[in-house]
Amino acid sequence: MAGPLPSSSNLSHNIDPSPSDSTPAYASQSYPPPPPVPSSSSTDAASDPTSKLDPEKGPPLYVCGHCGRRYSRPEHLQRHVQTHTLGRRFACGICGKTFARADLKKRHETNHENDDSKKRRRTTTSLNAGRVTHACKACATARVKCQEEKPCQRCVRRGLTCVSAEAGSAAAMNLVHLSASARSLTPGDDEHDSSNASSEYVPVNVPNPTSYLADQASLYGQNPQLQLQSRSVTPNIGDLAHSEAGSSNHAGADQLPFCDFLQNVLYEQQYNQPDKMPENQGLAVLDFCNDNDTNMELSDMDFGLLDHWNTDGMSNPMPAQQETPNSDKSVDLANIQQNLVTAWDVSPWRWDPVAKDNAFDEQGNLPVSQRDVASIRAQTSKGALRRVVDQKLDFAARDGVLALVLGACQPDTMSSRISGSFPSADLLDTMLHVFLNSHTNQVSDFIHFPTFRLNEQEPEFIANAAAAGAVLTPIPTLRKFGYALQESIRIVMPKRFEENNESILNIGMIQAIVIGQDTGLWSGNRRKMEIAECHVNIPVTMMRYRGKFQRSSYSMISVTPNDEGANLEQKWRTWVDMEKWKRFVFHLFLRDSQQSMTALTNPVMSYAELTLPLPASKELWYAKTAKDWKHAYLRREAGHIKRAPSVGDLFRDLNLLAENRHRMDMQFSAAIYLQAFWMLILEYRNLCSSCRIRSYTQDAYGGTSSLLDARRHQLIQDLQTFKTTTMNWPEITAQERLLLNQLLMGLHISMDDLQLFAGKEGDEQAHRAFPILQQWVESADSRAAIWHAGQVLRFAKLFPSAQLKNFYAVGVHHAALALWTYGVITRAGNRQDLSAQQEKIYIDGPESMSVQQFITLGQGVPFVRGPSNRNGTSEASIENPKASMEAAHEILQANFGGVNVMAPAIVENLCVLIQQLGNVAWAVGLG
């Protein structure tokens, strides 16, 4: 339905509800939603003669928890609560007037098209054009005006079968009989019949909405995190400056792109399911009703009142509803629902190409003005840039990069501009060292700095490394330049390989391709991410057919204490060359698996084809001279006559990890093992999807599917064994712990189900996922899943500053989505009141007996804590989705100093998505 239905806290059978009836239980939480806005509606109702009790219609049973207004029909109360919860989210693109419903805005905009036509604009509200006795099902579903004569004109025009729906009053009587015994009513009470008001009530004093709109502004219109374009969460490159400046032309609907969608998934009633309705449901029918025969149309007066409250000048006469146009362009809310912009439409992983998208669109960002250069130097001088190598880019190398860029220019007129304003060698050198410094912090480093010579690298390598460094800076001009440079090099790279096919043997050239792809894959720009993903198989194929995945390409080198001079130098160089290829292969493997986890797609590489040994220890890799390397080699490889194990060997015997701990790069090897383990989980999930079973559904693992149950338990046991084995290893950092818990979470919940419920594939698929996830929430799997999701947040808080980005930031988003789904379904099921007095279980803390009791028995209420700051540590209940999403958002923000200036674009995207999850849950009354 177009508007939200009220949560249980907004409804009451009480004639005189106490203040506690309408006050949500947020007192113990640190992330309260905006407070309810006081309304003068009840006062107006009391002074209005039409608000007196009509004895013929009986006492009204449904009371608004915000203002106390009473109604005898549930659909009227539902419509009324919209004015408290959602506000005016839809703005006219012509005059800027805002509306609470999209159909009202569309009617209003159609009015602009015929400003001079008196036939389509009425100056007064028609009191005779009330709601029809029985709307047909097609019009009721679409929430448009029907006609008394059947078949109605709309069904005839559209070729639909015109079948009358049950009258809304008849459906409401079912609730009256079910609920009448709950309370006794006094005739003297001040009560309001909404059915009379829909045709007779004219407000004497229209309440001033200023205070309400001010409160809503922080949620819809004034939050800088939400002021992004509806089609691209984080900028296509040039949007970085735009995101700083903010924007005022985005309608409120784009700020909460799927709140109506979520409302429909949770509350939309369905046809032909009367057998599922409980016998004694009372007001619970407003939460999860299975009957859609209730007429929910707005009458002409309803539209007039809503439009009047949406006007900027309250002294103007009340505008009337416009006649529904007699064309196919009439308001059809069913079609609007199908075209709702959900969070997935604005996520970084979907790109709908338009004509202006091309490879040359960013070339205007390549020239850098002198004023920008001066500003960049001033900002970079404030922070001490650590130089990984004591080398500086020379002018010849800078000119080589410029030559590549000019070769990609189109049109030719850009060449002169770029030549005159291309960054100097000093500025490119700064960008390069930003990248090299960042490279030392990543798990899969593949550049051997002791033998690295900056000015001897290929121009393509220098260009893509400079681009990668530029996008890591907090300076918008440099970020835009970096993305433009990466795009230009991507265009000219194929020509270099076509001119000389022997380039596929040059590790520097392949590294240049991969560095450019890495920049695109984690750019936060949908076009760049998709293009980069399309090309990830190119370097993989080059290396696969050169035998770089095979164990035979990495022979074991014999080193003796007598090795000296040129002989030792040659052995070291040979070992370095093999280790560079080995680490580079595993970097591609990690990236491929991370991309698979991010997009839930099949990987390009298989763990089975990687028979090469795992990476050698960091001490050997970082040895600065051949002598240092020899001493480390003799100490670590003494007594070993075989090469280090492969990732497949670890699957057969995990004890090999501990046995070879001293000779391998343990952090890198653990990451390889865990990322390879994702492919085992993906295989299991694909089988479950094909068999259409889940471990947490009632008919799970029936018949021959018991094999999948055994497989799942074996996978969980293997990960628990890895966790136990490496528990006290200092080499295993927060990055590997986060990944481990993300994998365990994936064995207790399908990310496909979570994303479908959040609207990834539209309304229909979300409805299909909803009953599955309802069963999940009732199972121990859900509690185990949110425990591991909380552990993801726990280790995310331990990341070094400015390192919670790219794949690891996506892991935080996945964990937040699991917590949000659990909280939304739990809160919508009204279970939070039952657990109000139970023990708090901090799912982002260490494991304890209370945690085990929560997972197995469901005892306790799950909580998460935000990052520590000078004001202490805040906490949020998982059953309050708004608060828990705020905690996850703060964890991402805190890793970048609490502001978005330093955060990469993809982190900004994910922050916005997480905030939207919390906001839409609150907007439909679930937090």
Tell me which of 51-65, 158-172, 469-483, 818-832 is least confident.
51-65
**CA–CA separation, 298 and 300 (whole Å):** 7
Q: What is the pLDDT of residue 788?
A: 98
pLDDT reading at 519 higher than 50: yes
pLDDT reading at 717 higher than 70: yes
Tokens read off for 723: 């966790």
Residues paired with residue 842 on neighbouring β-strands, in sequence order = 863
**CA–CA separation, 69 and 71 (whole Å):** 7
Q: What is the pLDDT of residue 167?
A: 40
Question: Mean pLDDT over all residues of the chain?
Answer: 74
Tell me which of 118-127, 346-355, 415-424 is least confident.
118-127
**CA–CA separation, 428 and 439 (whole Å):** 17
Q: What is the pLDDT of residue 72?
A: 76
**What confidence tens digit (pLDDT) does each residue in 53-84 have?**
444 444 566 777 777 788 777 777 777 776 66
Higher-scoring residue by pLDDT: 772, 357: 772
Determine phi and psi for 99, rounding to 5 degrees: -140, 160
Sign of the dihedral defined by the CA atoms of residues 752, 754, 759, 762, in that order: positive
**What confidence tens digit (pLDDT) does each residue in 473-504 have?**
888 888 999 999 999 999 999 999 999 999 99
CB 274 within 8 A of CB 291: yes
pLDDT, average across residues 344-366: 59
Q: What is the pLDDT of residue 349?
A: 53
208 pLDDT band, cuts 50/70/90, is: very low
Highest mean pLDDT among 168-172, 462-466, 878-882: 462-466
**CA–CA separation, 408 and 484 (whole Å):** 11
410 pLDDT band, cuts 50/70/90, is: confident
- The amino acid occupying position 372 is D
640 pLDDT band, cuts 50/70/90, is: confident
Q: What is the pLDDT of residue 412?
A: 67
Q: What is the pLDDT of residue 611?
A: 97
What is the domain partition of the chain in residue ranges?
Answer: 8-338, 365-535, 735-923
Q: What is the pLDDT of residue 408?
A: 81
Determine phi and psi for 136, rounding to 5 degrees: -70, 160
pLDDT, average across residues 667-672: 98
**What confidence tens digit (pLDDT) does each residue in 613-632 have?**
999 999 999 999 999 999 99
Tell me which of 164-168, 210-214, 401-405, 621-625 is least confident.
210-214
Q: What is the pLDDT of residue 334?
A: 34
Q: How far is CA 75 from CA 87, 167, 174, 619, in A?
A: 18, 12, 13, 71
89 pLDDT band, cuts 50/70/90, is: low
Question: In this structure, how many other beta carbons lie within 10 angstroms of the beta carbon of residue 182?
Answer: 11
**CA–CA separation, 224 and 222 (whole Å):** 6
**CA–CA separation, 528 and 284 (whole Å):** 47
pLDDT reading at 647 higher than 50: yes
Which pTM value belongs to this model? 0.67
Percent of the chain predicted with pLDDT > 70: 63
Q: What is the pLDDT of residue 73?
A: 75
Q: What is the pLDDT of residue 243?
A: 38
Higher-scoring residue by pLDDT: 42, 567: 567
pLDDT, average across residues 377-391: 71
Where is 80: in which H helix or E strand?
Answer: helix 74-85
299 pLDDT band, cuts 50/70/90, is: very low
| Closest by Cα among 454, 239, 458, 489 to 366 | 489
SS3 letters across 270-316: CCCCHHHCCCCCHHHHHCCCCCCCCCCCCCHHHHHHHHHHCCCCCCC
Higher-scoring residue by pLDDT: 919, 317: 919
Higher-scoring residue by pLDDT: 145, 7: 145
Q: What is the pLDDT of residue 239?
A: 41
Higher-scoring residue by pLDDT: 503, 168: 503
**CA–CA separation, 373 and 421 (whole Å):** 10
pLDDT reading at 821 higher than 50: yes
Helix (H, G, I), strand (E, B) or coil at 435: helix
pLDDT, average across residues 863-883: 87
**CA–CA separation, 676 and 661 (whole Å):** 19
Where is 90: in which H helix or E strand?
Answer: strand 90-91
| Biggest CA-to-CA distance, the chain | 109
pLDDT, average across residues 208-226: 36
Q: What is the pLDDT of residue 902?
A: 72
**CA–CA separation, 238 and 362 (whole Å):** 8
Across 132-154, b (16+ Cβ under 10 Å) vs e yields bebbbbbbbbbbbbbeeeebbeb
3-state helix, strand, coil in the chain (%, to 5): 55, 5, 45
Q: What is the pLDDT of residue 27?
A: 36
**CA–CA separation, 465 and 472 (whole Å):** 11
pLDDT, average across residues 297-326: 36
697 pLDDT band, cuts 50/70/90, is: confident
133 pLDDT band, cuts 50/70/90, is: low
392 pLDDT band, cuts 50/70/90, is: very high
CB 664 within 8 A of CB 644: yes
Higher-scoring residue by pLDDT: 608, 96: 608
Characterize the bridge pairing of strands 875-877 and 861-865.
antiparallel
Q: What is the pLDDT of residue 231?
A: 34
pLDDT reading at 241 higher than 50: no
**What confidence tens digit (pLDDT) does each residue in 913-927 have?**
898 888 888 877 776
Higher-scoring residue by pLDDT: 106, 679: 679
Highest mean pLDDT among 113-127, 316-330, 520-534: 520-534
Q: What is the pLDDT of residue 563?
A: 92
Characterize the bridge pairing of strands 840-842 and 861-865.
parallel
Tell me which of 86-95, 161-170, 580-589, 790-799 is least confident.
161-170
Tell me which of 255-259, 470-474, 878-882 is least confident.
255-259
Percent of the chain predicted with pLDDT > 90: 43
pLDDT reading at 288 higher than 60: no
Q: What is the pLDDT of residue 83?
A: 66
